[in-house]
Amino acid sequence: MSLLAIGTVAFDAIESPFGKTDKIIGGACTFISLAASYFTKPINIVAVVGDDFPQEYIQLLQNQGVDTEGLQVKAGEKSFFWSGKYHNDMNTRDTLVTELNVLADFDPIIPESYQNCEYLMLGNLTPQVQMTVLDRLKKRPKLVVLDTMNFWMNVAMDDLKKVIQRIDVLSINDEEARQLSGEYSLRKAAKIIMAMGPSTLIIKKGEHGALLFQGEEIFFAPALPLEEVFDPTGAGDTFAGGFIGYLAATNDTSFENMKRAIIYGSALASFCVEKFGTERLLGLSKEEVDARVQEFVKLSGFTV
Amino acid sequence: MSLLAIGTVAFDAIESPFGKTDKIIGGACTFISLAASYFTKPINIVAVVGDDFPQEYIQLLQNQGVDTEGLQVKAGEKSFFWSGKYHNDMNTRDTLVTELNVLADFDPIIPESYQNCEYLMLGNLTPQVQMTVLDRLKKRPKLVVLDTMNFWMNVAMDDLKKVIQRIDVLSINDEEARQLSGEYSLRKAAKIIMAMGPSTLIIKKGEHGALLFQGEEIFFAPALPLEEVFDPTGAGDTFAGGFIGYLAATNDTSFENMKRAIIYGSALASFCVEKFGTERLLGLSKEEVDARVQEFVKLSGFTV
């Protein structure tokens, strides 16, 4: 079924104990789209870049099945740029540069051909833009998934609370779940957050896996213990993209299918961190993804 | 099959955001024994207390199927005493008091009737005492599990490395695995540690579950997300006791059965933290344990 993803398409520059990149393609919408493209095509996107964004990067997205009709290219403006440096443990990072550029006044225009989307991924962006996208869709999608971060809780909590009233699935990390709910226990936090609107909550715990909550149901997906985490940039977005891509491809939003979707999202995220930026996601075969999913089956399977 | 457990039998005094206890029964061997007793009886123990240790606590152990022939009671001496205070997040604690008392010169004497033990749990104690126990067993047990902590890595690393050469299963937490191996990646750490002796490694991650490594095999057991963690004291020992108790009861040391044992250990640990000290472990029914194990099945089960 048709999938629409909103978020940043941008430049990243990354430093880690393993090396350093120049400006490379990054952004939430980029990782979401590349991950989702393993399951369904086309991926429709609504995003904005400046005219400094190389045609080859747009081509790269198109080659993976991304429809770029909704990608605005702003003449005379510069693309969003983020630069960060990971510490030795790869779990903490410092932001070195954030240049909003075209993002500062992003008006998400939805092409007419995207109007009937069934699956909507509201990637990490200002809650006001996420809300505008919901307002501009004439028909409510079958499933709306929203990803956000602590930054928006700090600067736009009211807007964020308004938009999450209108979504189905919220995807945040454990610290964000604690911040949003005011509860340390994730089980209590989940109840409070689901009472704010979303019927389903995903709590991402990075190297510790992810929890999926819906009503009284809880599912835990492990993360694959990796020999090396090379670059965690985009892992959360890749996870979300794999999740909604799998749901859109199977067109089944049951809790049982969401469990599978979480595992597929985790599998794609486990590839993402193996190289810098989007590198490992490009050219990944269906066989590699399926084999990785089987590693998750083996990792967590037991009988009593 | 016969199970022998070594470790502390002691007094604990605990402060947490939920309240405060007087001196109550604690110690690694106590939690190990109570947990193991859900699967097999008797539990033979080698431990030491002073004559300040109440007869009612010894009776409590006996009532749960613990054979106390190997429990030395030192006249005129005081029992080991630990006191700690948990912070609001329940994941960090300050040690307020550590009085070694009888533990300072503990000589682990093994009763003749314990000599043929098949399953040996070397609970957290000085590595020298753990080694002495191995030396004094005339026949090597079928399975030797050792639990230790960062403290011994700081003050007795050489002794610790000697004793872990001779065991089958090492049980430590994630930070300890990193300290022992010098590797941040747990997957790399596991390889290094298994090359030091143990063919199997358990890495405990508290609220994030536990990893089981053996050769190229990896199994991940989730922790149950709890509404409230009341008191984490003894959870790791309870986990280890449930693990070895289940293995001894089933007399099956295959990797498949170790997976089940980890789940049973995790289930018992999830009860342990629901009340202060040993309170929740006492009088737990087999039905309650089985129902909790089913929660783990539900929590981590999926099909692809």
pLDDT at residue A129 in the model: 98
Taking a C-beta distance cutoff of 8 angstroms, is the pair A168, A145 a contact? yes
Q: Which residue of B has its CA nearest to A303?
A: B260
- Look at B218 and A205 and tell me if their CB atoms are within 8 Å: no
Q: Which residue of A has its CA nearest to B221?
A: A300
- Measured distance CA(B51)–CA(B19) in Å, rounded: 28
Residue type, A190: A
- For chain A (length 304 residues), average pLDDT per consecutive 10? 96 92 96 98 98 97 97 98 88 90 97 97 97 98 97 96 98 97 96 98 96 98 92 96 98 98 98 95 94 97 94
- Look at A303 and B260 and tell me if their CB atoms are within 8 Å: yes
pLDDT at residue A131 in the model: 98
Write a three-state SS string for chain A. CCEEEECCCEEEEEEECCEECCCEEECHHHHHHHHHCCCCCCEEEEEEEECCCCHHHHHHHHHCCEECCCEEEECCCCCCEEEEEECCCCCCEEEEEEECHHHHHCCCCCCHHHCCCCEEEECCCCHHHHHHHHHHCCCCCCEEEEECCHHHHHHCHHHHHHHHCCCCEEEEEHHHHHHHHCCCCHHHHHHHHHCCCCCEEEEECHHHCEEEEECCEEEEECCCCCCCCCCCCCHHHHHHHHHHHHHHHHCCCCHHHHHHHHHHHHHHHHHHCCCCCCHHHCCCCHHHHHHHHHHHHHHHCCCC
Token pair for residue B51? 């004559």
- Measured distance CA(A86)–CA(A279) in Å, rounded: 18
- Measured distance CA(B56)–CA(B73) in Å, rounded: 14
Report chain A residues touching chain B, CB-CB < 8 A. Answer: 88-90, 184-188, 190, 205, 208-209, 211, 218-222, 225-229, 256, 259-260, 263, 293-294, 297-300, 302-304
pLDDT at residue B87 in the model: 87
pLDDT at residue A92 in the model: 82
Q: Which residue of A has its CA nearest to B301?
A: A301
Closest C-alpha to B259, from B297, B285, B303, B206:
B297
Q: Indicate the burial class of A230 (C-beta count within 10 angstroms; 0-12, 13-18, 19 or more).
A: buried
Q: Indicate the burial class of B303 (C-beta count within 10 angstroms; 0-12, 13-18, 19 or more).
A: exposed
- Measured distance CA(B154)–CA(B144) in Å, rounded: 23
Would you say how long chain B is, in residues? 304
- Measured distance CA(A129)–CA(A276) in Å, rounded: 28
- Measured distance CA(A101)–CA(A79) in Å, rounded: 6
- Measured distance CA(A119)–CA(A129) in Å, rounded: 17
pLDDT at residue A283 in the model: 85
* DSSP three-state, residue B80: coil
- Measured distance CA(B163)–CA(B134) in Å, rounded: 9
pLDDT at residue A250 in the model: 98
The minimum CA-CA distance between A279 and chain B, rounded to whole Å, is 22
pLDDT of B51-85, one tens digit each? 999 999 999 999 999 999 999 999 999 999 999 99
Taking a C-beta distance cutoff of 8 angstroms, is the pair B127, B148 a contact? yes
Sorted by where each begins, the domain ranges of chain B are: 3-300
pLDDT of B87-105, one tens digit each? 877 778 899 999 999 999 9
- Measured distance CA(A76)–CA(A91) in Å, rounded: 37
pLDDT at residue B88 in the model: 78
Taking a C-beta distance cutoff of 8 angstroms, is the pair B102, B74 a contact? yes
Token pair for residue A6? 């909103």
pLDDT at residue B186 in the model: 96
pLDDT at residue B18 in the model: 86
The chain-wide mean pLDDT, for chain B, equals: 96
Q: How many CB atoms lie within 10 A of CB A92?
A: 9
**Paired residues of A156 in beta bridges:** none
Alpha-carbon distances of A56 from A25, A35, A59, rounded to whole Å: 10, 19, 5
Picking from A184, A227, A304, the nearest residue to B89 by CB comes out as A184
| Biggest distance spanned by C-alpha atoms of chain B | 63
Taking a C-beta distance cutoff of 8 angstroms, is the pair A209, A218 a contact? no
- Top CATH class of B3-300 equals alpha beta
Picking from A211, A221, A293, the nearest residue to B225 by CB comes out as A211
CB-CB neighbors (< 8 A) of A88 in chain B: 184
Helix axes A55-63, A28-36, angle to 10 degrees: 30
| In the predicted structure, residue B283 carries a pLDDT above the cut 90 | no
pLDDT at residue A201 in the model: 98
- Place B1 in a pLDDT band, splitting at 50, 70 and 90: confident
- Measured distance CA(B109)–CA(A178) in Å, rounded: 50
Closest C-alpha to A115, from A89, A90, A134, A88:
A134
Q: What average pLDDT score do residues B192-196 get? A: 98
pLDDT of B120-178, one tens digit each? 999 999 999 999 999 999 999 999 999 999 999 999 999 999 999 999 999 999 999 99
b vs e for A191-224, b when ≥16 Cβ sit within 10 Å of the residue's Cβ?
bebbeebbebbbbbbbbbbbbbbbeeebbbbbbb
Helix axes B255-272, B286-300, angle to 10 degrees: 110
Taking a C-beta distance cutoff of 8 angstroms, is the pair B34, B281 a contact? yes
